[in-house]
Amino acid sequence: MATAAPTALPILYNQLEPLNSQAHGSLKVRGIETLPALAQVHAIPLTVDEFAAAQRHYPIIFSVGDEPVPLALMALNEGLNTFVDKDGKPLDSSVYMPAYLRRYPFLLARLSPDSDELSLCFDPTANAIGDFAEGQPLFDGDQPSESTKAILEFCEQFEQAGQRTQFFMEELKKSGLLMDGEVAIQPEGSDQPFVYRGFQMIDEEKFREARGDELRKMNQNGMLPLLYAHLFSLGQVRDLFSRQVQQGTGPVPAQLQPQASSAQS
């Protein structure tokens, strides 16, 4: 179901270019109307700040590997996304969109490995910045415009949420509650269930057996409501299955035999 956290450019980003007044002083920024690549992305990184909102729409799972990250699951199989059309446009505007998507094509990045300074960068392939007739100016003279300041503030908030997410994941690994995930769905008329693997989840039995002092610590550091949000969100897996069936991308005997796991990377 899920893939390991990216090690090169983040998903959806093809290139990174630092924003500066000399190269981009006369250019404008506009909203992205289409993002076809999103239609083939089945899981999007999520911060802990978003768990409460995201759990109402997506299963929240954790990537495999030594450095797992929270993910909002948008389809049960790789190469699919049940929440957008083929052009990457949301099918339902009332569904919560992860901040990772709302941040694109911008992000804060270190221009040098030995530097702690973060610079505002963008993906030039997104066609969001250019010499457009419409859009918001990026600069007012040699100073960032109000639009650019708002973009920078959002990216800074995202980085801060990312730090809180990293702390949560470090504590979660220490707790020993993470386990290899498996979800079985048995549709009506099927003799055997379809089984999906390739992700991590909370060991609910071990969670129930946690000592009082452990639960107290989780409550004090803010982990407890996040763990419950994750567990509650897993009920959305069946809804994802139904969405794929309705959209014609659900499993059929010729594509996925019962007891087979979904594609993994």
What are the structural domain ranges in the chain? 17-246
- What's the mean pLDDT when you consider all of the chain? 89
Amino acid found at 77 = N
What are the backbone angles phi and psi of residue 232, rounded to the nearest 5°? -60, -35
pLDDT tens, residue by residue, 147-206: 999 999 999 999 999 999 999 999 999 999 999 999 988 887 777 888 899 999 999 999
Per-residue confidence band for 7, with pLDDT thresholds at 50, 70 and 90: very low
pLDDT tens, residue by residue, 88-120: 999 999 999 999 999 999 999 988 777 788 999
Would you say 119 and 152 are in contact if contact means Cβ atoms under 8 Å apart? no
Tell me: pLDDT of 52 over 90. yes
In three-state secondary structure terms, 165 is: helix
Tell me: pLDDT of 256 over 90. no
List the one residue out of 81, 80, 84, 128 whose CA is nearest residue 104.
128
Q: Distance (Å, rounded) from C-alpha 146 to C-alpha 152?
A: 10
Which residues partner with 90 through β-bridges?
84
Tell me: pLDDT of 74 over 50. yes
Tell me: pLDDT of 4 over 60. no
Helix H or strand E encompassing 19: none
